[in-house]
Structures are given as C-alpha cells and as structure tokens.
Amino acid sequence: MRVGIIGASGYTGGELLRLLLRHPKVELTIATSRKHEGEYLYRVHPNLRGLTDMKFQKHDVEAVVERSDLVFTALPHGTSMNFMPRLVEGGVKVIDLSADFRLRDPKAYEIWYGFKHPCPELLERFVYGLPELHRDEIKGASYVATPGCTAMATILALAPLVKAGIVELDRLVADVKIGSSGAGASPSIFTHFSERFGVVRPYKPVMHRHTGEVEQELSGLVGEDVRVAMTPHGVNMVRGILSTCHSFLSKEVGIPDLWRAYRRMYGKEPFVRLIRDLKGLYRYPDPKMVIGSNFADVGFELDGWAKRVVSFCAIDNLMKGAAGTAVQCMNLMLGYDETMGLETPPLHPV
C-alpha cells in the first residue's frame, strides 16, 4: 500500500513516520513539509537517524495524489480543508489528523473554531476516527477524521457512564492534564523551557475547542444533549494526557454496575485497559504507564459521599491520541489486523 504524509515535520507527523516506516504493509512514498523541504527527516526527527535517508518533499498535493493510495494529513487546524476537495477528487483515501473534518454540523465550526467551513458537503463523508465508538463505520470509510487528543481521553472516560444512563448529562466535568507535545513543535514564550518547566498551567479553561467533538460524540450515544465543562492544564511532562472526569449520579449505583458499564463497552477492545486495582502502585490510569504505546488506560471510582463517579483516561497523546489511532484506523480501512504496527509495549520506568 503506497502511503503519503502531508505535513510530516510536526510531532504527530514524526510519530506517523516512526510507525509507518516499520509497518509491514506500508510503503511510505512521500512526506511533505513546507518549512523543511529538502531536509533529511532525521534532522527534524532525530530519533529516525539511522532508520531512513528520506527527505522532506515540497508541499505539492498533486505529487502526493499521484504517489499514494492513502494519505495522512497532519497539519494545523484550518489547513487541510483547503485542499481536501482535491484529495477526494484524486481518489485517494484520507485520514485527517486535524480538527477540520471532525464535526458533523457545519455550524459547530462557527461556535468552536470561529469560521465558516469552506466545504461543508464533505463533513458527512468523514467518519469520526475513534474505533472504540465507530469501528464498523471506519472499516467501510474512505475518509476518516481522527479525534483530538484531549477530546479522545475525555470521551473514553465518560462514554460508558453516559451510555449506561446513570449520570447527569448537563453537569459533566472534564479536568485534563496534558504534556507539552500537545502544543506542537513551534517555539514560543508559552513553551520556553524556563517558563514551561514545573507548571500546572490552566489553558483555555472554558470553551476549549475540543468540547464540540466531545459533546457531539457523547450526545450521539444517547440521542440527548450533553454538556461538558472541560478545563485543560499544561503539566510538567512532554507526552501524555490524563482526563479526570467528574460525573454526578442520576441514580444510585454500586461498583459492580460501574464495572459492568465499562466492561460492556471496552471488554473486547485491543487497546483499552481497564484499571481499578486495589493493590500496588498503579491503581488508576496514569499517563506514565502508557508512554510509547497505543493503549488507552481507563478507570473509575465511586464517591458515595458526594454522589459522584470519578473516571479517568490516560493516553500517550502522540500515539493513541494521534498517530497511533490514525494507524489503527488505516488498518481497519484496509482490512489489516487492527493492531498491526502498534504492538510495542509502553516503557517503564520512563
């Protein structure tokens, strides 16, 4: 399968390269970068030194269409929408890692991103690339938009509770902690080491853009409006997200009910581990446990005092939260084993 990447110099592009260069079914034919055209991949992604002598090609959509059967687009939001019609017309399959085709409702782009979508007719052709919720649709899709990492962690933590009908749907809280790599590879004063080290920095504490896709997906599970109060914080690490979700109970439940809800949804998922351990050091999900892997660790606890469930989802934001899920979707779209190229266990300790 000939595969190309548009926008391969960012962190998600680099992670795609790391996965695709060793994927047994993939022939990586082209990787573009506006900024680094002509440079060796390993100058930008130093981990790839010794693994490939490829160089970044210029950002030429025609060349990509010509050389690829499937294309990953890993660009800043608002970019891929500009040439997506050409990719579709060119007959290639597309997996878009940006936000440009995640939302079904064109009006939602005005609320959450502040612009009018230029090709709203394409939105319904894209599937939301979260295999745990849309596996069958992804299998039949030609166009997939993978979730935002903050959104994914929040959806996976909340979905079983929402689906089970046991929590108040208008008062869901998602308090998210995220590593620096989620902010991308471009330096700024916000990411200057001396300023970023050791922070617990609230970032877009209200109206975070990923709220739109979280509410779309959770509402889709129950056919009712769901409201999520999401507040991310930058913390002192490079990779990893933990979404801690606080849901108030709408009916009385016990821990076995919660286990049932989570097992029903994720019991057969190849990349979801359910973690609520009564022994040992790692009793709940923690991003430290998933670094380098495609696992989503999901867990929960019941709070009888405050009539609440706390639920957690930890992912490596560049893997399960971006490139890993994108490859998982590719495997599904092309009929490969879903876990192909994604089997590397997490590192510990790291």
User: Could you give the residue numbers annotated as active site?
Assistant: 149
Closer to a copy of itself by CB, 126 or 180: give it: 180
Find the distance separating the first CA and the last CA of the chain, reported in whole Å.
34
Q: What minimum distance in Å lies between the beta carbon of 125 and a copy of itself?
A: 28
Contact 33, 40 (CB under 8 A): no
> Among 8, 20, 41, 48, which residue interacts with a copy of itself (rule: CB under 8 A)?
48
Closer to a copy of itself by CB, 69 or 259: give it: 259
Closer to a copy of itself by CB, 57 or 181: give it: 181
> Tokens 């991949």 belong to which residue?
41
Half-sphere exposure of residue 123: CA atoms within 13 angstroms, side-chain side = 16
Q: What minimum distance in Å lies between the beta carbon of 90 and a copy of itself?
A: 30
Residue 310 engages a copy of itself in binding (rule: CB under 8 A):
yes
| Residue 323 DSSP one-character state | I
Residue 349 engages a copy of itself in binding (rule: CB under 8 A):
yes
Which DSSP string corresponds to 142-181?
SEEEPPPHHHHHHHHHHHHHHHHT-B-TT-EEEEEEE-GG
Q: What minimum distance in Å lies between the beta carbon of 93 and a copy of itself?
A: 25
Residue 339 engages a copy of itself in binding (rule: CB under 8 A):
no
Residue 255 engages a copy of itself in binding (rule: CB under 8 A):
no
Closest-CA residue to 168 (of 270, 264, 290, 251): 251
Residue 112's alpha-carbon distances to 206, 209, 221, in angstroms, are 11, 5, 21
Residue 301's alpha-carbon distances to 136, 153, 154, 272, 339, in angstroms, are 30, 16, 15, 17, 29
> Among 35, 190, 263, 267, which residue interacts with a copy of itself (rule: CB under 8 A)?
190
Residue 225 engages a copy of itself in binding (rule: CB under 8 A):
no
Closer to a copy of itself by CB, 14 or 147: give it: 14
Residue 189 engages a copy of itself in binding (rule: CB under 8 A):
yes
> Among 81, 261, 314, 322, which residue interacts with a copy of itself (rule: CB under 8 A)?
314
Residue 350 engages a copy of itself in binding (rule: CB under 8 A):
yes
> Among 16, 235, 315, 333, which residue interacts with a copy of itself (rule: CB under 8 A)?
235
> Among 145, 275, 315, 332, which residue interacts with a copy of itself (rule: CB under 8 A)?
275
> Among 68, 80, 154, 211, which residue interacts with a copy of itself (rule: CB under 8 A)?
211
Closer to a copy of itself by CB, 134 or 308: give it: 308
Residue 55 engages a copy of itself in binding (rule: CB under 8 A):
no
CB-CB neighbours of 348 under 10 Å: 11
Residue 71, strand partner residues: 4, 94
Cα separation, 259 vs 183, whole angstroms = 34
Q: Could you give the 3-state DSSP secondary structure of residue 291?
A: coil
Tokens representing 259? 């286990």
Q: Where are the beta strands (DSSP E) in 235-295?
A: 241-248, 272-274
Q: x/- contact string, 4-33, with a copy of itself (CB under 8 A)?
A: -------x--x---x--xx-----------
Span from 55-63, 90-98, 124-132, 339-347 in contact with a copy of itself (CB under 8 A):
339-347
Tokens representing 209? 């853009």
CB-CB neighbours of 149 under 10 Å: 28
Contacts to a copy of itself from residues 141-170, by CB under 8 A: none
> Among 129, 147, 160, 285, which residue interacts with a copy of itself (rule: CB under 8 A)?
285
Cα separation, 229 vs 211, whole angstroms = 8
